[in-house]
Amino acid sequence: MVKKRPNKVAVLLGGLSSEREVSFQTGKQIAQALVDKGYEVKKIDPASELISGLLEFQPDVVFIALHGEFGEDGTIQGLLELLGFPYTGSGVLASALAMNKVMTKKILLSEGIETAPFQVFTRQEAERKGLAQIASEIIAYLNVPVVVKPACQGSTIGVSVARNQKELISAVAFALQYDDTSFAEKFVEGVEVTASILGTEDPQVLPLIEIISETGFYDYKAKYSAGLSRHIIPARISSHVAQKVEAIALRTYQALNCRHFARIDFMISNDEIPYVLEVNTIPGMTATSLFPDAAQAAGISFSELISRLVEEAWSLDQKEQKSKFVGKGN
């Protein structure tokens, strides 16, 4: 019998990445919102059970509330494709691309979308040439200040600002602790905003949020401690710059083939050029998170937002009528 609406939702939370704790916060609130909306919900932590839990529960939709590696990077998405369970958020390709900031920047460049100039370096190179040589090459190409980041991390883990050669050497070493491929990016002085996008066929940009960090740099602590960062909605930028940001956000979302929702981070330089920093395919959904704030400003409550994502995952799957070869009954 074909069900008319989704009823059973598995919420994947926790997981194996360095963002495990944030994922628990996100996942618990999502699960609660779904319970409030009358869904039958099972929380599954892939660190302890995954395939067995899914096969036993047979969800109509899987809500992926994981961040980072083995959650936001396409691997879980690939598994769910194989198992034949529809899931919220972007598919395998978009998830994998967006997880890697260097690959994201390459796609943006090919689409003519502004992203700050950058230089990639690897652990192998660092071992061969030494950290000082890498730092000198970065300075020769980009000068300082730069922001140094691992290619694949989130929540500002491994990210630092370097204002001179000495800081740059430490920043390079620090980033490489988290990813063998890392990069330095020109520091953009200006206003930080984030664009939350909702929808797939006709995606909508929710009100832009300006982010002000009380610690001067939007770091892990500021992101997840209430009071240390401030969200200003709508962002205090001219309507002409806001329109530019919205248009670029949509182009970025489509260039990466995102679906259901994503949050795109920007730095707008003092000369009003919006630079895309990164695409978050599973943005945080905690009490202090940006995406739910943007939805609220657009008149969409948290529980409406969550159930809308579930419905969307379900209806897309119904349209696609994929043939499944594992999971459901074989």
The string of DSSP letters for 126-189 reads HHHH-HHHHHHHHHHHH-SSEEEEESS--TTTT-EEE-SHHHHHHHHHHHHTT-SEEEEEEPPP
Q: Does 147 bind ligand ADP (CB under 6 A)?
A: yes
Binding partner of residue 125 among Mg ion, ligand ADP, none, CB cut-off 5 to 8 Å per kind: none
Asked if residues 256 and 228 have their Cβ atoms less than 8 Å apart, the reply is: no
Can you tell me which of 89, 154, 283, 292 binds ligand ADP, judged by CB under 6 A? 154
Binding partner of residue 192 among Mg ion, ligand ADP, none, CB cut-off 5 to 8 Å per kind: ligand ADP
Place of tokens 């499944």: 324
Q: Report the distance separating Cα 17 and Cα 25, nearest Å.
A: 14
CB-nearer residue toward ligand ADP: 73 or 265: 265
Binding partner of residue 81 among Mg ion, ligand ADP, none, CB cut-off 5 to 8 Å per kind: none
Asked if residues 262 and 197 have their Cβ atoms less than 8 Å apart, the reply is: yes
Q: How far is the CB of 85 from ligand ADP (least distance, A)?
A: 27
Can you tell me which of 167, 192, 293, 312 binds ligand ADP, judged by CB under 6 A? 192
In three-state secondary structure terms, 51 is helix
Q: Report the distance separating Cα 213 and Cα 219, nearest Å.
A: 8
Q: Does 185 bind Mg ion (CB under 5 A)?
A: no
3-state secondary structure 180-203: CEEEEEECCCEEEEEEEEECCCCC
Q: Report the distance separating Cα 87 and Cα 277, nearest Å.
A: 26
Q: How far is the CB of 63 from ligand ADP (least distance, A)?
A: 21
Helices and strands, number each (H, E), in the chain: 12, 13
Structure tokens at 238: 């001219």
Binding partner of residue 147 among Mg ion, ligand ADP, none, CB cut-off 5 to 8 Å per kind: ligand ADP
**Binding-site size, ligand ADP (CB under 6 A):** 16
Q: Which residues are catalytic?
A: 19, 155, 224, 263, 265, 278, 280, 284
CB-nearer residue toward Mg ion: 171 or 310: 171
Q: What are phi and psi of 57, to 5 degrees?
A: -80, -30
Q: How far is the CB of 288 from ligand ADP (least distance, A)?
A: 14
Closest to 294 measured CA to CA, from 155, 193, 196: 196
Q: Report the distance separating Cα 281 and Cα 300, nearest Å.
A: 19
**Binding-site size, Mg ion (CB under 5 A):** 1
Q: Does 267 bind ligand ADP (CB under 6 A)?
A: yes
Name residues contacting Mg ion, limited to 239-278 (CB under 5 A): 265
Q: Does 116 bind ligand ADP (CB under 6 A)?
A: yes
Bond prior to 86 in cis (omega within 30° of 0): no
Q: Does 17 bind ligand ADP (CB under 6 A)?
A: no
Q: How far is the CB of 12 from ligand ADP (least distance, A)?
A: 20
Contact letters for ligand ADP, residues 220-259 (x by CB under 6 A): ----------------------------------------
Q: Does 19 bind Mg ion (CB under 5 A)?
A: no
Interface positions with Mg ion (CB under 5 A): 265
Interface positions with ligand ADP (CB under 6 A): 116, 147, 149, 154-156, 159, 185, 187-188, 192, 218, 265, 267, 277-278
